[in-house]
Structure 1
């Protein structure tokens, strides 16, 4: 189950933070690390600060985009200190996030995403996520180092997993209720966008309208079965459009 939980670091500037994050992961039983365009990797500083977690560093994957890093995940949780103009479903407490992550990780990959040291995740990267989570901290000084944030969320995930193991009960989401992967949801969004344009609903560029509808479906969190029904509905509507 823990092997299905992926830590994704986006454009990490200091390689030492990659090593410290790898160490934080290993202490909590996590070993899948994906790096999106790190400034320097591999790097001696990353290996040095990883201490005994060099296996996590050596197994890390480097990819070109966040979309590539999470395309196969059913849940993508972005760690963010603030909400955006169109907020995704948001976990106010990390333990609530951890319980859901563990439930889904029993059968499918999930990702916890951390942004740049200084500026976090961009709005576009937030749109690659299905959820957001914040770490409650001192409102007068809520600044966390990257590896500290990884440690806190990894601990909550490990605690949720441990409690399930101790009780002898680990809830596994039924297959028909599993969320779609990021890739499946992108196909739905593209299908919806095409129908809106072809039907005349959008007669000129209306990026905000499309964003709002995409955010609506993201908040609705449809299952794979429900998303398939929606795709079928869109296809049925397309059949009645004038042929080009």
Structure 2
């Protein structure tokens, strides 16, 4: 599904923005990049700012017109900071847009189109689109860098894809730590109690200090390995106590 979602950059002026956009794409699982008449590509600045997403750059396709970039797409969404008078369906919120994009991308290519850094997309280029989308921002300063706009829409796309019933996405999680047995935990508590008494830490027999410390470790739920480290620490302290 994600491989059917194409990011199209039109006449990008700064090659660094191409690299930053590639990085934004790859972090969200998007790899299909098409460049329409970039001023300078390939370029060292693009590679530098891609920061590990050089495979996206290496596989990018360069074409001479937006029509060439999207002619096989069933949906073409133009990202625009300004509302136009053209009668195209307009998404006021990116999350509404990506729900439709994800469904269409199940069976066919779709494109998210971004214009020039300074002037965006022309009216003729908007006419190549089937929809428009705006990114809500501060009305007094709603200017987004090109790669920032790509990152926002790429994130919304990935979020919608994660929530789709047919994907098998799972977060990378640390391996589950093995909890200690009840016997191991009791041995630790006995060791802690013995050391507190031998060290003179417990000076008031009726105080609840020991109880409170045992409750603290119970709440912390240390793993078997962590409990072993704590036992080693207690043993190291115990070795420095005077023999009784």
Structures share fold, TM-score greater than 0.5: yes
State the alpha-carbon separation in 1 of the partners of residues 57 and 147 from structure 2. Answer: 14
Give TM-score scaled by structure 2 length. 0.68
Query: Where does residue 92 of structure 1 map in the other structure?
Result: 92
CA offset digits 1:120-176 (Å, max 9, x no partner): 0000000000000000000000000000000000000000000114888xxxxxxxx
1:1-244 equivalent positions in 2, closer than 5 A: 1-165=1-165
Query: Where does residue 209 of structure 1 map in the other structure?
Result: none
Q: Which has the larger radius of gyration?
A: 2
SS, match of residue 42 in structure 1: coil
Runs of 4+ in structure 1 over 4 Å off: 165-168
Taking CA–CA contacts closer than 8 Å with sequence separation of 6 or more, which of the two structures ends up with the larger relative contact order?
1
**Measured at CA, do residues 165 and 28 of structure 1 come closer, stay the same or move farther in structure 2, by a change above 3 Å?**
farther
**Measured at CA, do residues 45 and 126 of structure 1 come closer, stay the same or move farther in structure 2, by a change above 3 Å?**
same
Ranges in structure 1 where 5+ consecutive residues have no aligned partner = 169-244
State the alpha-carbon separation in 1 of the partners of residues 109 and 39 from structure 2. Answer: 26
SS, match of residue 102 in structure 1: helix
Aligned-pair distance for 1:47?
Answer: 0.5
RMSD between aligned residues: 1.2
Ranges in structure 2 where 5+ consecutive residues have no aligned partner = 169-244
Aligned residues: 168
State the alpha-carbon separation in 1 of the partners of residues 7 and 61 from structure 2. Answer: 11
Give TM-score scaled by structure 1 length. 0.68
SS, match of residue 33 in structure 2: strand
SS, match of residue 164 in structure 1: coil
State the alpha-carbon separation in 1 of the partners of residues 98 and 75 from structure 2. Answer: 12
The structure richer in helix per residue is 1
